[in-house]
Structure 1
């Protein structure tokens, strides 16, 4: 078992190349190892500003585009027991838990990469790790939480060589 990345591209502003997807898979494995999440599946969708604006308005009641959205599948509110899946037979593949969806606005990533003076690939990687950390339960409501998330994002990017 391992962490698996399923991705789709629903924008035409920037070509999503296999090398970028390879870097994102490596980031997923790196953060998964650091956070002790050895397996599961993440769905990543690249969209334009209009689509992320629509999703932000529909699901968060925020009427503006954003750079990344995360929708965790394993959020726990303490009211429902966790469902435990067990394989039926020895030769049956293990169930890969769906960790959630990450949606990235490619136009926002391009603009932010220009603002910060680094590559679009680095910005997409940063946003992807940010979204993945949200799927794992991290948040940035306080300065301490934000510093922790940024530190984890930067460490993962440094580890695979996506530096500024």
Structure 2
């Protein structure tokens, strides 16, 4: 289950511990949701300026956001190459994650874990555009985070 982590920002220090946390959270979310099916995900850590550009380009919102997901399985079905599924990319603004962790009074690990699971669930087709969808997505997110001991402080 390949998980790629790429850091394109310098505002928040990223070490191997953080990279390992991101990989572990993705792997746990995929294991819970795909029952062992092989899948590939990439996570890109960016700054607010980079995120603002993506948010404007793809959502016409001229401000940064915390996480965006770019699913590869939307639209036309691709031919099966006999390999695991390539789910897509999760882009996270690390400075926004840090600010949110302070606002919510919990660790950056907890906030980053939350955003990673949120992104994975979007790649798998979850959405929060209805109250029921939001409730289901939040429940799945919290269950996965609890299993990783990334609970709210």
- Above 0.5 in TM-score? yes
Of 123-132 and 36-45, the range deviating more from structure 2:
36-45
**CA positional deviation for 1:29:** 2.0
Q: Which runs of 5+ in 1 are unaligned?
A: 87-94
Q: Is the 8 A contact 2:5 2:22 kept in 1?
A: no
Q: For 1:130 and 1:27, how far apart are their aligned partners in 2?
A: 11
Q: CA deviation at 1:39?
A: 1.2
Gaps of 5+ in 2: none
Deviation of the 1:24 alpha carbon = 2.0
| Residue from 81, 84, 88 that aligns with 1:85 | 81
TM-score (norm 1): 0.86
Q: Offset of 1:143 from its aligned partner?
A: 1.2
1:60 maps to 59
Q: Which residue does 1:129 correspond to in 2?
A: 117
Q: Distance in 2 between matches of 1:13 and 1:121?
A: 16
* Structure 1 ranges of 4+ moved more than 3 A: none
**Secondary structure of the corresponding residue to residue 35 of structure 1:** helix
Kindly name which structure, 1 or 2, has the bigger radius of gyration based on alpha carbons: 1
Counterparts of residues 107-118 of structure 1 (less than 5 Å):
107-118=95-106
Q: What count of residue pairs does the alignment treat as equivalent?
A: 151
Shift in Å at residue 35 of structure 1? Answer: 1.0
Tell me what 2:69 maps to.
70
RMSD: 1.4
- Aligned counterparts of 1:52 and 1:100: Cα–Cα separation in 2: 17
Shift of 1:43: 1.1
Whether 2:95 is the aligned partner of 1:99: answer no
